[in-house]
């Protein structure tokens, strides 16, 4: 069945600090996919937001000397929303877990799980790491510290509510077994299967004496007094509440289940085991796909505040441009694998692939049209670009954004070589008929490059399409039509695109 909607999510981010480049990576990938599916005519619903009921947010507010937690959360959430705006992210919604619509949905969800008999009360004793916002098994501690955050976790013993996660072991294994695409890439699937088979236990879903958070619903009886829901239990439900669960059933019916949860590899246990089990318990359909991207280091070193190598994506984009940041992140790191971020490498790619590869091609084609045809598009001729689209569309549908970018650059390289081989400057003297066919082919190929680039480098793509006089067409026409050859009007005015990639100063 052909689907007409595409619901895509990023994780919702903690607001204990402003976004760093790792967070921007997740959001830029999601934005690229959202733009791609929109271009293809799908009714895209792209959601990101902030995870606000977390202990580490509270600690950050206290550290900042801000006694008014809500004020701190409001300010920080606005910082995140503003960051995505200035990076040109096209999310359709921004959910905050302190919003009323979320609270209503969480209560409804809790009731569904409670009615299913999947919540019970018990005592929990363990080591809680606020960095992970999770209990760390005693066996995983290294020198008494959380191996990821290098901090001593708090020893906690309290009466909590538990979710019967282990009840769903067989159902989860069965679902993953039957749906190859459910967890991607495959390496992550293996990791999750071994966790579900060997380690997954019931999970405590409430906290005693936590000052901030969503109260455990009264339905849980007297024990609920003074208990807040465990932040991950409430946070995961954002994917439902953002789609209207508990508040707008029509919208919910339209968008749920999500087509893609995009997450970092650090949070797959929550997304690929706990979350589907929660949904099964509440009797709701599971998301179609959870894709985990890798982590990247900066110059080979883990991104960490204490090491002082936090890169601010906004400062970075102001210096190099949003499109350059997008291009580099998506080209340099194979989606799904770990990678490295290096400014030196970015400058290399900028010079060879953007300035020389794409920028040069655009300038050459537009300048030759100006010189040989007074800036008018020559008569149409036969041509074909469908092999590039075919490969590109397959790669995009398989979430292989790096490979789709390579498809575009293969075409760019081919066209630069085509110009060298055809030598239009010689044809201008010897064969003007062939010259017209060569220039038309180049102009039309450039139009396709503009379209192919739209999800990845939207500003650059618009400049190219504007120079060709067809910037409005992609907003109106269906993608299938735009992907055909020969849509540039004969005699149409071709202008300059401006300098797309100026020389970097430092």
Contacting residues toward ligand MSP, per CB under 6 A: 11-14, 22-23, 25-26, 51, 235-236, 238, 263-264, 266-267, 295-296, 303
Min CB(22)–ligand MSP separation in Å: 2
Q: Which is nearer to ligand MSP, 292 or 442 (CB)?
A: 292
Segment (H or E) for 338? none
3-state class of 223 per DSSP? helix
Which secondary-structure segment (H or E) carries 285? none
Q: Nearer Cβ to ligand MSP, position 230 or 373?
A: 230
**Residue ranges of E strands in 56-171:** 93-96, 119-129, 134-136, 154-163
Q: Tell me the pairing of strands 43-51 and 206-208.
A: unpaired
Render 414-451 in DSSP notation, one character per residue. Answer: HHHHHHHHH-HHHHHHH-HHHHHHHHHHHHHHHHHHHH
Rounded to an integer, what distance in angstroms lies between the CA atom of residue 30 and that of residue 36?
A: 10
Residue found under tokens 């809500």: 70
Give 64 or 371: the residue with its C-beta nearer to ligand MSP. 64
- Minimal distance, residue 482 CB to ligand MSP, in Å: 32
Write down the least CB distance from residue 350 to ligand MSP, Å.
Answer: 21
Q: What is the DSSP string of 166-181?
A: GGGHHHHHHHHHH-TT
In whole angstroms, how close is the CB of 51 to ligand MSP at the nearest point? Answer: 3
CB of 77 to ligand MSP, least distance (A): 12
Pick between residue 292 and residue 385 the one whose CB is nearest to ligand MSP.
292
Total residue count of the chain as it appears in this document: 506
Nearer to ligand MSP, 118 or 133 (CB): 133
Nearest distance, CB of residue 238 and ligand MSP, angstroms: 6
Between CA 50 and CA 235 the distance in angstroms is 9
Closer to ligand MSP by CB, 182 or 440: give it.
182
Q: How far is the CB of 274 from ligand MSP (least distance, A)?
A: 10
User: Do 25 and 63 contact (CB within 8 A), yes or no?
Assistant: no
β-pairing, 290-293 vs 183-184, is: parallel
CB 310 within 8 A of CB 22: no
> From the DSSP assignment, how many helices (H) and strands (E) are in the chain?
22, 15
Q: How far apart are CA 468 and CA 492, in angstroms?
A: 8
Minimum separation from the CB atom of position 25 to ligand MSP (A): 5
Maximum Cα–Cα distance across the chain = 92
Would you call 199 exposed, middle or buried from its count of C-beta atoms within 10 A (0-12, 13-18, 19+)?
exposed
Per the DSSP assignment, residues forming a β-bridge with 361 are none
Give the nearer residue to ligand MSP in terms of CB position, either 127 or 291.
291
Minimum CB separation from ligand MSP for residue 55, in Å? 12
448: CB partners within 8 A, 6+ apart: 385, 388, 389, 411, 483
Collapsed DSSP state (helix, strand, coil) of residue 460: helix
**Considering beta carbons, is residue 216 or 274 the nearer one to ligand MSP?**
274
| Cα 346 to the center of its chain, rounded Å | 20
Nearer residue to ligand MSP within complex by CB, 264 or 486: 264
8 Å CB contact between 114 and 282: no
Q: Cα angle vertex 150, ends 145, 154, to 5°?
A: 50
User: Could you give the residue numbers annotated as active site?
Assistant: 20, 23, 129, 132, 146, 149, 302, 305
């Amino acid at each position: 069945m052909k689907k007409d909607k595409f619901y895509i999510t990023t994780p919702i981010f903690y607001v204990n600090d402003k976004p760093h480049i790792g967070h921007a990576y997740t959001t830029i990938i999601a934005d690229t996919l959202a733009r791609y599916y929109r271009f293809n005519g799908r009714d895209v619903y792209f959601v990101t937001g902030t995870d606000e009921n977390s202990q580490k947010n509270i600690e950050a507010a206290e550290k900042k000397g801000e006694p008014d937690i809500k004020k701190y959360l409001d300010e920080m959430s606005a910082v995140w929303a503003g960051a995505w705006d200035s990076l040109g992210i096209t999310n359709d919604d921004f959910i905050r877990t302190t919003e009323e619509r979320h609270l209503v949905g969480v209560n409804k969800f809790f009731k569904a799980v409670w009615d299913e008999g999947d919540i019970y009360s018990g005592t929990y004793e363990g080591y809680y790491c606020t960095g992970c916002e999770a209990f760390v098994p005693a066996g995983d501690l290294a020198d008494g510290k959380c191996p990821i955050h290098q901090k001593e976790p708090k020893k906690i013993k309290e009466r909590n509510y538990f979710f019967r996660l282990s009840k769903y072991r067989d159902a989860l294994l069965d679902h993953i077994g039957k749906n190859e695409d459910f967890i991607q890439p495959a390496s992550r699937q293996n990791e999750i299967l071994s966790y579900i088979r060997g380690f997954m236990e019931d999970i405590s879903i409430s906290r005693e004496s936590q000052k901030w958070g969503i109260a455990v619903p009264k339905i849980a009886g007297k024990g609920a007094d003074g208990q807040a829901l465990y932040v991950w239990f409430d946070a995961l439900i954002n994917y439902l509440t953002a789609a209207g669960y508990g508040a707008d059933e029509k919208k919910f019916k339209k968008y749920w289940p999500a087509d893609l949860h995009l997450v970092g590899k650090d949070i797959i246990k929550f997304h690929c085991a706990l979350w589907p089990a929660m949904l099964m318990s509440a009797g709701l359909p599971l998301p179609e796909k959870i894709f985990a991207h890798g982590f990247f280091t900066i110059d080979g070193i883990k991104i960490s505040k204490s090491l002082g190598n936090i890169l601010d994506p906004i400062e970075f984009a102001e210096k190099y441009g949003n499109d350059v940041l997008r291009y580099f992140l998506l080209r340099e790191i194979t989606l799904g694998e770990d990678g490295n971020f290096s400014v030196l490498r970015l400058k290399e790619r900028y010079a060879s692939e953007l300035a020389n590869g794409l920028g040069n091609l655009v300038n050459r084609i537009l300048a030759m049209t100006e010189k040989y045809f007074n800036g008018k598009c020559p008569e149409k001729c036969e041509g074909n670009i469908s092999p590039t689209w075919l490969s590109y569309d397959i790669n995009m549908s398989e979430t292989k954004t790096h490979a789709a970018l390579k498809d575009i650059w293969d075409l760019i390289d081919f066209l630069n070589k085509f110009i060298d081989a055809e030598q239009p400057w010689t044809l201008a003297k010897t064969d003007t008929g062939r010259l017209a066919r060569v220039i038309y082919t180049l102009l039309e190929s450039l139009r396709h490059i503009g379209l192919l680039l739209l999800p990845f480098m939207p500003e650059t793509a618009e400049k190219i399409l504007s120079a060709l006089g067809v910037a409005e067409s992609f907003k109106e026409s269906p993608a299938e039509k735009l992907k055909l050859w020969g849509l540039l009007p004969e005699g149409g005015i071709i202008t300059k695109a401006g300098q797309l990639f100026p020389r970097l100063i430092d």
